[in-house]
Amino acid sequence: MNYETMYILRPDLGDEQTDQAITKYQNLLKEQGATNIETQHRGKRRLAYEIDRHREGIYVQMNYTASGNTVANLERAMRLSEEVIRYLTIKLEKAEANV
């Protein structure tokens, strides 16, 4: 199945820490057997509302093909992470995935 995960990193992370976090989640997906991994670093943006006393966040979008089990493992890692303040994974329909 094709999935899209959007996650928000803490705004106080430096460029190097941000890159390390992005690489960590890409590698986690690769280890779990995900394919077609595309990552877009969307930069720092203002949040619609405050989350954990943060008014901004670093947005990252990942599109990939994987099993539901892989998604569960990725979300578990994000939930336990100190650097991720929000994440959301959606399953893409075939028509959306080809756009």
d(CA 59, CA 42): 5
Domains located in the chain, CATH noted: 2-97 (3.30.70.60)
% of residues, the chain, pLDDT over 90? 91
Q: Which of 28, 45, 46 is nearest to 37 (CA)?
A: 28
pLDDT in tens, 39-56: 999 999 999 999 999 999
Q: What does the mean pLDDT of the chain come to?
A: 92
- The dihedral through the CA atoms of 39, 45, 47, 48 has a sign that is negative
pLDDT at 97: 55
| Least-confidence region, from 8-12, 38-42, 64-68, 90-94 | 90-94
